[in-house]
Structure 1
Amino acid sequence: MLDGKIVLVDDNEAVLKTLKMILAREFKTVVGVSVPTLLPALLREGDVDIVLLDMNFVTGRQDGSEGLFWLERIVDCPDSPQVVLITAFGDIELAVSALKRGAADFVVKPWDNEKLIATLQGAFRRRRKERAEAASVRRISAEEENEQVVSLLVGSLLKKYAQAYGKQLPAVTPDGLVKLSGLIRQGDLSVLQQTIERAVLLTDSSSLGADDFYIEETAPSSRPVTLEEMEKQFIREVLREKNGNLTLCAQQLDISRQTLYNKMRKYGL
C-alpha cells in the first residue's frame, strides 16, 4: 500500500463507491467527492498526491469544459498534485488535449483495474519525485542565501575594523570562514563582532585563518537569533553608524544601493 492521498471526483455515486473500494487497497487515504467545488478546501493542506478527475459534471453537457476548468484550477495551486482524468471512450481526443494543459495521464471508462492502478501508481511516483526535487532546490537556495548573509556580515565587519585601526583589509581563508560561519549560527552578533575586531587588531597578516579567530567561552545567549535576525540587526547598526546615509551604508556592507533597499524593505527598516 502506498502512503499517499488520492481524491476522487465523479458525480456518479456508483462509480465513486467502486473506485474507493478498488483504491483503498492501494493508497493509504482515499477521499471521494461528487462535486468539484469541494476541491479548493481539500487541496488547501497540500497533502493530496493525486486527483482522479471526471471530465463532465453537468447533466446533458459532455464537452468536458468543466473538467478542463477544474484541471486548470488544480495545476495552478502551489505544490499541485498530479491530475489523472477519467473519461468516456469518445472523449479521448479531449483527454489528450488536457494533457497539454497539465494533466498527468488519463484512464477511459469502462476502465481496466490493473491499468487504472498502474496509471495512478505512476502518477504517485512522479508526484513524490517532484516533491523531492523541489525540497532539494529549496535547501540549496536556503544554503546560498545563508552563504550570502555570512559573506555580508564577515566582509562588512572586516572592513569596519580594518578602517578603524588603519590596517589593510585582510582576506579570510576557507577554514577561517568555516569557523566564523559556525560562530554566526550560534546567533550572537556581539560575540562575532568582538571576535573579528580582536583578529584584525592583533594580526598584521594579509589573511586570517581559523587560528586567528579566538572565541572566548561565554554564557550562551538567552535567545540566539536566526541568521536573518542577525543580518537585520547588523544592517540596523550600520544605518545608525552612518546616520542613515544609504550610500555609505551600502559601501560599508559592500552591496549595491538597490540590494540595500531590498533588504531594508524585507526587514522593515
Structure 2
Amino acid sequence: MDQNLGKILVIDDNEDVLFSAKMLLKKHASEVIMEKNPKKIPFLVSNGDFDIILLDMNFTQDITSGQEGFYWLKEILKYDPSAVVVMITAFGDVEMAVRALKEGATDFVLKPWQNEKLLATLSSASKLRNSYKEVHQLKEVNKSLCAELNAPQSIITGQSPAMRNLFSIIDKVAKTDADILLLGENGTGKEVIARTIHQRSSRADKVFVTVDMGAVTESLFESELFGHKKGAFTDAKEDRIGRIEAANGGTLFLDEIGNLSLAMQAKLLTVLQRREVIRVGTNKPIPVNIRLISATNMLLKEMVQRHEFRQDLLYRINTVELNLPPLRERLDDIPLFAEHFLESYSQKYKQPLKVLSDNALQKLKRYNWPGNVRELQHVLERASIMSDNSELQADDFFFISETQPEAKPAQVDSQKLDDLERDAVQRVLQKYDGNISKAAKELGLSRGALYRRLEKYAL
C-alpha cells in the first residue's frame, strides 16, 4: 500500500499495541503519534491536526465495558467535530460496534488485528477525512464567492491614450502568473482592473478573493488571512479557513496594502515567500497556489525610504507595476462611463433610460473629480434618481462645483494627493452632517478606513 494516510494518533494503554501499531503505520503515514494516557486527548486534539485517530475502547480503569472509549470519543468530537476516529478493542461485539458508529466513530476494528485489514480500514478512513476537508474548504470558498458576487460591479473602459496603453499592458501580463501592483488614487478602478486581469488569465474559472487590508485590524490579521483552528482564541468557535487559503488556485487581491503595519508586512512576506499558510492554533503548513494582485493609493517607494514599508515586500508584490490615471486626466472617457452607469441605473430602479445632454457633459468635463470614477458613478446615480427628464441637464448636477480645465494638475505629487483626499473626505462629511456610515459609503471606503483618514487629516 503506497497511500499516505497522513498524520495518525494512536491512543492505547498497552505498550505492545502502541509499538505494533507504530511499526506497521510508520511506513504508510506521514507521522504517527503514540499516547498511553487518554487524559492527554484534549491537549493533543486541540493542538494537532490529525487525519486519523485510533482509539482504544478499554483502558485500565474499565477493562471490558468500553465506557471509557465512548467517553473519549465524545471528547474528541467535541474538540474536532470532523475527526475521523477508528475504535479498537479486544472485546468488541456487534452491539458495541453499532453504538460506536452511532456516536460518531468512523469504523471499528478488533485486536489483535490483521495488518492488511487494518490498513484497508485506515485507507477508507483517510479518504473520508480528505472528503471532509474538501467539503469544509468548498463551504468557505463558497462564502467568499457569494461575497464577491454580491459586490457592486463596475467596468473597465476608455479611449484615452493613457487607457489604451494600460489595456496593452494588461493583455500582456494577464496571461502570466506574475504578481502585480496597481497604483492610483482612490476611485480609479483598481479592483475593476484586478478582476479584469483575473478574467483574462488562466485562472479565470477559479475564485477571485478580495481583502481590504485597510479594514483588517492587527489583532485579527492572522485569523482573517491565514485562518484559525477552533479554540485558538476566545471567539474562535469553529475552524475557519483564511482568505489566502480560500484563494487557492485562483487570484488574491489585496487592496490598500499600504495600510499594513510593519509587523503585518513581515507576516505577509513570509507567506508569500513560502507560498504556505499556518492557521492560528496549529503548526501545520498548508500549501497555497495563488496569483497575487495588490493595490494602493499610497506612494510605497517613498514609504520604503521612510522605513514605513518593507523593501523586500515591495519587490515581492510588484513584478509588474501598473499606474491607473485619475479621471481628470481622461475626461474624454466620461461619455463611455455615463452610458454604462445610466443604463445600469435604469435597470436597477426600473425607470426609462436617461442620457446626458451636451451641456451636462460639458459640466462634468469641467469638474476636477477628486473621487475619480467612483465619484462619477455616485453623481450619475443621484442625478438619474432625482431628475424627471429623460435627458439630464447641467442643472441636474447642481451639487458639484465646476473647475477650469487649466486648473487640473498634470501630475500630482504626494502632498497634493493628500490635499485632494482630505478635501474629498471633508466635503462628503459636511454633505452628510458628519454621518460616518453614509460618508464612507459615498467615498467607497470601509468605516475603519474612513476613521484612519479622519485621524490622519485631523478632521
TM interval, short-chain normalised: 0.5 to 0.7
Task: Give the drift of 1:42.
Answer: 2.3
State whether structure 2 residue 19 is matched by structure 1 residue 20. Answer: no
Greater share of helix: 1
Distance in 1 (alpha carbons) for counterparts of 2:195 and 2:328: 12
Alignment of 1:211-250 (within 5 A): 242-245=432-435, 248=438
* Alignment-derived partner of residue 129 in structure 2: 127
Alignment of 1:119-198 (within 5 A): 119-148=121-150, 150-151=151-152, 178-179=192-193, 181=195, 186-188=294-296, 194-195=326-327
* Alignment-derived partner of residue 105 in structure 1: 107
Task: Give the drift of 1:112.
Answer: 2.0
Unaligned runs of 5+ in 2: 156-189, 198-254, 256-292, 299-322, 344-372, 374-410, 415-424, 453-459
Q: Secondary structure at the match of 2:110?
A: strand
* Alignment-derived partner of residue 202 in structure 1: 334
Amino acid at match of 1:42: L
* Alignment-derived partner of residue 48 in structure 1: 50
Amino acid at match of 1:54: D
- Given that 2:54 and 2:88 are in contact with CA atoms closer than 8 Å, whether structure 1 keeps it comes out as yes
Cα distance 1:239–1:13, how it changes in 2: closer, same or farther (>3 A)?
A: farther
Could you report, residue by residue, the CA deviation over 1:58-83 in whole angstroms, capped at 9, with x for unpaired residues? 43453222211221222233474310
* Alignment-derived partner of residue 82 in structure 1: 84
Q: How many residues align?
A: 217
Distance in 1 (alpha carbons) for counterparts of 2:144 and 2:115: 43
Q: TM-score, normalised by structure 1?
A: 0.62
Could you report, residue by residue, the CA deviation over 1:109-128 in whole angstroms, capped at 9, with x for unpaired residues? 23222111100111011111
Unaligned runs of 5+ in 1: 156-175, 222-234, 255-262
Could you report, residue by residue, the CA deviation over 1:165-213 in whole angstroms, capped at 9, with x for unpaired residues? xxxxxxxxxxx9853745966433689895599779822743159xxx7
- Given that 2:97 and 2:108 are in contact with CA atoms closer than 8 Å, whether structure 1 keeps it comes out as yes
Provide the alpha-carbon RMSD of the alignment. Answer: 4.4
- Given that 2:62 and 2:68 are in contact with CA atoms closer than 8 Å, whether structure 1 keeps it comes out as no
Could you report, residue by residue, the CA deviation over 1:71-116 in whole angstroms, capped at 9, with x for unpaired residues? 1222233474310000234443123112112111110123222111
Distance in 1 (alpha carbons) for counterparts of 2:438 and 2:328: 21
Could you report, residue by residue, the CA deviation over 1:194-245 in whole angstroms, capped at 9, with x for unpaired residues? 5599779822743159xxx7xxxx99x9xxxxxxxxxxxxx9x977863443
Percent sequence identity is 35
- Given that 2:57 and 2:69 are in contact with CA atoms closer than 8 Å, whether structure 1 keeps it comes out as yes
Deviates more, 1:105-114 or 1:137-146: 137-146
